[in-house]
Amino acid sequence: MIASKSSPSSEARLAGMLGAALLAAAAPVHGHDEGALDTLQLHGFLSQALVVSDDNNVFGPSSEGAGSLQFTELGANASLRPHEDVLIAAQVLSRRAGGDASDASPELDYGLIDYQLLSDQRRNLGVQVGRFKNPFGFYNQTRDVAFTRPSVLLPQSIYFDRTRSLALSADGVLSYYEERLPQGTLRFQAGVGRVQAGDDLRRTLRLDDFSGDLDPETSAIGQIRYEHDGGRIVAAIGTADVGAHFDSRQPGLSDGDFYFRPWILSLQYNAERWSLTGEYALRESGLENFNDPRLNFDTTGESWYLQYTRRFLDDWQWLIRYDSLVNDRDDPDGSAFEEKTGGAIPAHSQYARDITLGLQWTPLPRLLLSGEYHHVDGTGWLPLRDNPDPDETAERWNLWLFQLSLRF
């Protein structure tokens, strides 16, 4: 699912309910001498990156001086099993990606109660209630943990950082089913809930100049995933139907609605020392029902990447990736869009073609050092908050990222 920050009151209620459930679960389990606290697990992670670019800014003033240190991720998670069929889990995340220090205030990343209705040697069936991570592509459910990413930046054509809130999580119910077959494992996840529609989405939709609230509506997401031969071949297909309503307080401007309906196909082959991964997405999105026709639009975007990773020695990995993003399949070079805006927004804002070279070193199990280089043609995924004037952005630019990550 995909969405915005929930209101402070709803997030506080969710955190309060989760805290009460954790305290209740800490009581002794009926019929056992040991309490549920014996199953408590606590983990965390910290990542700090240096971001340098020759033109355009990414996560702060990366094109100035020695670059930007405004890309920091800090998270702590806990899980508790009060019963063999019940798991309570939560994670709090502090993330700064440009902006000022106040943007790094801790937020509830996920917080849920997982109940397994059925579990045996052949199949699992269960449901999660609370704030769950959206099953979107290969990496979305663990995207903030650097040790689970193949690179510092995930492919931006699929895993947008500039509209990150839209893909992260949802408050609702997620069901899952897993069937173990003779040659592999089939997994299905489907969820319904209220997504998040943060300030990043408002900026991307260019609604930040208008007074009003962008409120998420009940949305749905689903994914089918198959892992063959112990994960040697992994394939997945997913889709979502996401909506949000703009409650206008702007004089003369009516209310309007946002919709986002992606399809994403994922495929991966894993050998002993290398992996080949590709994902392809079609993204239908738009604004409708505004009385100002300049705001309404309906487009189908296209995204894909192909990535090769090679593991060498015992603790090194290198990567090469080609990543392609087009915001409108009917206007792949952005020329029609530029003409529509009267030249105020350049054509290269509607696409991005990114060649990435990366290297990772894990000298210790809890320490990861990463570095990568991007050569980018286009600014289709460039963060808008770091580049408020699109006319001052460069079409072709280079980006370097260096990151230190710890887990505990």
Going from the N-terminus, what domains does the chain have, and what CATH number goes with each? Answer: 8-47+79-90+103-407 (2.40.160)
Phi, psi angles (nearest 5°) of residue 124: -130, 140
Q: Which residues of 171-206 are buried (b: 16+ CB within 10 A; e: fewer)?
A: bbebebbbeeeeebbebbbbbbbbbbbbbbbbbbbe
Q: What is the mean pLDDT of residues 317-329?
A: 98
Q: What is the mean pLDDT of the chain?
A: 90
CA distance linking residue 236 with residue 90, whole number of Å = 26
CA angle 234, 353, 329 (to 5 degrees): 85
3-state secondary structure of 193: strand
User: Is the C-alpha dihedral spanning 62, 64, 67, 72 positive or negative?
Assistant: negative
Which of 185, 204, 232, 146 shows the shortest CA–CA distance to 406?
146
Amino acid at 311: R
**The pLDDT value given to residue 7:** 37
Q: What share of the chain is helix, strand, coil (3-state, %, to 5)?
A: 15, 55, 35
**The pLDDT value given to residue 21:** 44
Q: What is the mean pLDDT of residues 87-106?
A: 87
Tell me the pTM: 0.88
pLDDT digits (tens, 9 = 90+) for 279-307: 999 999 999 999 998 899 999 999 999 99
Distance between alpha carbon 195 and the CA centroid of its chain, in Å?
13
Q: Residues in the chain, how many?
A: 408
Residues paired with residue 307 on neighbouring β-strands, in sequence order:
277, 321
**The pLDDT value given to residue 99:** 76
End-to-end CA distance of the chain: 29
**The pLDDT value given to residue 220:** 96
Residue % of the chain over a pLDDT of 70: 91
Task: Dump strand ranges (E) for 341-395.
Answer: 351-364, 367-377
The token pair that represents 9 in the structure block: 């009151």
3-state secondary structure of 232: coil
pLDDT band, residue 37 (cuts 50/70/90): confident
CA distance linking residue 247 with residue 3, whole number of Å = 16
CA distance linking residue 146 with residue 134, whole number of Å = 18
Residue ranges of the alpha helices (H) in 62-104? none
Residue % of the chain over a pLDDT of 90: 77
Amino acid at 226: Y
